[in-house]
Amino acid sequence: MPAVLFRDRAEAGCILADRLRKVVKGQDVLVLALPRGGVPVGLEVARVLNSDLDVFVVRKLGVPGHEELAMGAVASGGIRVLNRSLIEQLRIPEAAIDEATDRENLEVHRREGVYRQGRPRAPVAGRTVVLVDDGLATGATMLAAVRTLSMQDPEKIVAGVPVAAPETCERFQKYVDHMLCIATPKAFQAVGIWYGSFPQITDEEVGDLLGRAARRQDRRMVGLYSD
């Protein structure tokens, strides 16, 4: 059994944030967490960086009959990216693509409703976006997030995770402006084994954590305007 690297996601977020401070110092930062497991990490990153926190909901578009194979993705903000070369190679009809898009967009909207509880989506354009998750195995979800996020005109995309498979962390260097992986153990196996506590996070817990971040942001803004 490998040695535990992090007590829980909150501790991992604090460690990650300390490293990220040197990367994004003095920039207009927005922390975007990948739900669900990335949100407790992102909460601590946003707290340390004194920045806004939001979620970036990404849903893979699976090839019909082989859903584990992604032909594209949809994400927060109504963004869709497609792997046209794969679609043409497999001769996937547009009707099947549109059906998968509609289905996954419904799930994106459902999750955003639960998570944000009426709060508006944080603006991305022109900001340094720090994309956070609790770990990277294959990196498929994070890559879909990067591709869709890049269509929203951020100034810079920084990706950060507490732990990742070495080859995945290395591969991501070419997809983002800066990639930060705290630990890249050779015998990676799975994200959860590197945490002492790694419970499943519910939709309701994500909503509660985002609510805490929003209240902290409100207090910060009050402090700014009262000076």
Q: What is the CATH number of the domain that holds 38?
A: 3.40.50.2020
Structural domain that includes position 104: 60-115
> 216 and 132, same structural domain?
yes
The pLDDT score that the predictor gives to residue 225 is 46
The two beta strands, 79-82 and 52-55, are unpaired
Same-domain check for residues 131 and 24? yes
Query: Are 13 and 37 a contacting pair, CB within 8 Å?
Result: no
Q: What percent of the chain stands above pLDDT 90?
A: 74
155 and 108 inside one domain: no
How many structural domains is the chain composed of? 2
**Category of 135 on φ-ψ map: left (φ > 0), alpha (ψ -120 to 50) or beta:** left
Q: Is 114 exposed, middle or buried (0-12, 13-18, 19+ CB in 10 A)?
A: middle
Residues 137 and 108 in one domain: no
Could you list the pLDDT tens digit for every one of the 227 residues in the chain?
578 999 999 999 999 999 999 999 999 999 999 999 999 999 999 999 999 999 999 988 999 999 878 898 898 878 888 989 999 999 999 999 999 999 999 999 999 999 988 888 899 999 999 999 999 998 888 988 998 899 899 999 999 999 999 999 999 999 999 999 999 999 999 999 999 999 999 999 999 999 999 998 877 665 554 54
Distance CA 227, CA 220 (A): 11
Do 111 and 152 share a domain, yes or no? Answer: no
Pairing of strands 156-163, 178-183: parallel
Shared domain for 28 and 103, answered yes or no, is no
Within a domain: 164: yes
The count of residues in the chain is 227
81 and 165 part of one domain = no
pTM confidence score = 0.87
The predicted-structure confidence for 165-184, as pLDDT tens digits, reads as follows 999 999 999 999 999 999 99
**Apex CA 216: angle with CA 211 and CA 221, to 5°?**
125
Q: What mean pLDDT value characterizes the chain?
A: 92
Question: Quick check: 210 and 115 in contact, CB under 8 A?
Answer: yes
- Residue 169, in any domain of the structure: yes
User: End of a domain among 83, 115, 147?
Assistant: 115
pLDDT, position 208: 94
Q: In what order do the strands lie in the sheet with 58-63?
A: 58-63, 66-75, 79-82
CB 216 within 8 A of CB 47: yes
Rounded distance between C-alpha atoms, residue 213 and residue 208, angstroms: 9
33 and 103 share one domain? no
Task: Specify the DSSP element, H or E, that contains 226.
Answer: helix 203-226
Same domain, 200 and 185: yes
